Amino acid sequence: MDKSIAKALVECGYAYSWQSNRAALFVTIPVTSEIQKVDPFADTIEGRRQADALEDWLAQEHGKLWGKSADYVGFKFHWHYHQWRLDRIKWCFQRLEKHD
């Protein structure tokens, strides 16, 4: 799933390239040319930025799937909205990988 996420970050324009080593995947951020670890599920500013970009990309490129995720990934009232969003992103990428 990590490669699919890295590719999506490039496709949506969040990053202009991705690379991997044995331990992790990284993306290069435009303008600053910073190299960041691909981890939209991290509770960091960078993780949230990546999650924002992926949510927008999923809604634009795979709108039906993104909409279905709201039904299939149940929202629990004690959960934080951000965690539900992350679960939906993960669910969508799992489905996209099954169809590749």
Q: Can you spell out the DSSP letters for 2-54? A: HHHHHHHHHHTTS-SEEEE-SS-EEEEPTTT--EEE--TTSSSHHHHHHHHHH
Query: Are residues 96 and 65 in contact, defined by beta-carbon separation less than 8 angstroms?
Result: yes
Tens of pLDDT, residue by residue over 8-53, are: 999 999 999 999 888 788 999 887 888 999 999 999 999 999 999 9
Domains of the chain: total: 1
Quote the domain boundaries for residue 56: 2-98
The torsion region of residue 35 among left (phi > 0), alpha (psi -120 to 50) and beta comes to: beta
- Torsion 78-80-84-86 (CA) sign: negative
Tens of pLDDT, residue by residue over 51-100, are: 999 999 999 999 999 999 988 887 665 567 888 899 999 999 999 998 76
Residue 17 burial (C-beta neighbours within 10 Å; 0-12, 13-18, 19+) = middle
